[in-house]
Amino acid sequence: MGYMHSQHLPGQLFRELMKDYYPTKKRISVSVGESVRIIRELQELSQNQLAQLTGIPQTSISAIENDRVRLGVERAKVLARALKCHPGVLVFPGWELPRDAAA
């Protein structure tokens, strides 16, 4: 399998590489702002680039990432579109469904 960055989102590539590994029980806590920063960095975007994609000022993105400003539903939707993820990933970092949860 060759690495073709333009054809794989980082999440898809990560899942493919990690499919044979099991998560450890120990978890770290990630804030909403940290989740925005992590996903932005995985997409290899600067705050300025994300600001251009979303229309959200870079200073606001910095404030969100540093948990000085609440993300909010509307900004979560805008950021999620630009970051190619579901808004819930940003708003509820670390959320896990129980293994026996109904689909």
At position 97, the amino acid (one-letter code) is L
More confident residue, 62 or 9: 62
Residues 33-58: tens digit of each pLDDT: 999 999 999 999 999 999 999 999 99
As a whole number, the mean pLDDT across the chain is: 83
Per-residue confidence (pLDDT) for residue 5, from 0 to 100: 46
**Fold observed for domain 30-94:** 434 Repressor (Amino-terminal Domain) (1.10.260)
Buried b (16+ CB within 10 A) or exposed e, 85-103: bebebbbebeeeeeeeeee
Task: Tell me the domain boundaries of the chain.
Answer: 30-94
Smallest Cα–Cα separation from 40: which of 73, 100, 5, 89? 89
Q: Report whether pLDDT(1) > 60.
A: no
Question: Could you tell me the pTM of the whole model?
Answer: 0.67
